[in-house]
A and B are shown apart, each in its own frame.
Chain A
Amino acid sequence: MSAPAVVVGASLAGLRAAEALRARGWEGELVMVGAEPHMPYTRPPLSKALLGGALEPAGVELECEGVDAEWRLGVTATGLDPERRRVALDDGDSLAYEMLVVATGCRPRPWPGEGADLEGLFTLRTVDDSLALRAALRPGARLAVIGAGFIGCEVASTARSLGVEVTLVDVLPRPMRALGPLVGEVCARMHAEHGVELRLVAPVAALLGDGAFSGLELADGARVEADLAVVALGAQPNVEWLEGSGLAVRAGLICDEHCIAAGASRIAAAGDVATWPHPLASGGLIRVEHWSNASEQAGVAAANLLAAEHERIAYDAVP
């Protein structure tokens, strides 16, 4: 009997990969490895409806009933040996695989300076992160949000709607850089209209506090007093476990246009952790942190793992 198909990463990309493996005829064992203790869930509401209390955790669960798999949850992959086809796990076990999907996603980029361990500092990526922050967002609390990208802006907006005093800080002149200056202006105005205090072109020089977070010192010397901070400085791919595997990693795991890891035909990658040459980037390597991309890329990556080499299809979707 052949070894199982193993999917490392039990979030959206991992789930969609598992579904595709089954739909495309994989009848062997299927093992899902997930670092979080939870079954797959959808993350977009974590900064909005779940954070604001309109939704409870059951409301973000993804439908998994149709996937016949063994779920190894609360377990983190720590190493990969493509020669012996084994994944090492942090519980001491190791899994043989027939084929492997790498879908380990990203984690929040931590505060890079001193004070990263202050009490009252939050990041937002997981359902547990969202619930911990939600418990702290009491009306009248003062929240500093560092970084005005998607997560920072959504947290600022949700917190404001809960009656929290919010200061949103960014080094750039406008929020939402990814959407350009026009949308950035509109976004800045909407935040201001809703009572969010914006501090733009305002690098943070230091986090203040002794044990517990008490505010920010900005580069111009101004201070923002606050009880809580959300560090929203983007995300970084979870690739450390691939060190020593011989696979090429540059930001994410480097794949070919079929989402197959370069030089390893039994390994595919999908979602936030996958780096691949996109036709619309003139074949340049890109990595996309986007819900729809995780979902669609996983289906193609898994199908290509099962397909004969000449039948593999290039992944060229645009989220």
Chain B
Amino acid sequence: MKVQVDMDLCQSHGECCFAAPEVFELDDDDVLQYDAEPDESLRPKVEQAVRNCPVTAIRLLD
């Protein structure tokens, strides 16, 4: 599974971090860090993260 976040759009709302904490994390400067190729088993959580992003910045690439 491949994930891409448009960092120009990301506003660090943090909703993805609640939906899929294994994949998304805000660092000490509130900048989003994420695993671009998470394990397939996390797909439902990542899909939830995509849906929960208020600025539609997250894309599932496969």
Contact = CB atoms under 8 A, between A and B. Distances in A.
Contacts of A3: none
A165 to B, nearest CB: 25
Nearest to B50: A63
B11 A44 contact: yes
B27 interface: no
A123 interface: no
B9 A45 contact: yes
A54 B8 contact: yes
B15 A42 contact: no
Given A48-B11, A49-B9, A42 B55 contact: yes
Contacts of A61: 56
A292 B13 CA distance: 10
Contacts, number: 29
A292 B52 contact: yes
Interface in B13-59: 13, 15, 51-52, 54-56
Nearest to A319: B15
B52 A42 contact: no
Interface in A253-309: 291-292, 295
A42 B9 contact: no
A292 B18 CA distance: 11
In this complex, the interface size class of chain A, counting residues with CB under 8 Å from chain B, is 10 to 19
Given A54-B8, A55-B9, A292-B15, A45 B55 contact: yes
Interface residues of B, number: 10
A62 interface: yes
A44 B55 contact: yes
B24 to A, nearest CB: 15
Contacts of A59: 9, 56
A187 interface: no
Most chain A CB inside 10 Å of its own CB: which residue of B9, B13, B52, B56: B56
Contacts of B8: 49, 54
Given A49-B8, A54-B9, A62-B56, 16 more contacts: A42-B54, A42-B55, A42-B56, A44-B11, A44-B54, A44-B55, A45-B9, A49-B9, A55-B9, A59-B56, A60-B56, A291-B13, A291-B54, A292-B15, A295-B51, A295-B52
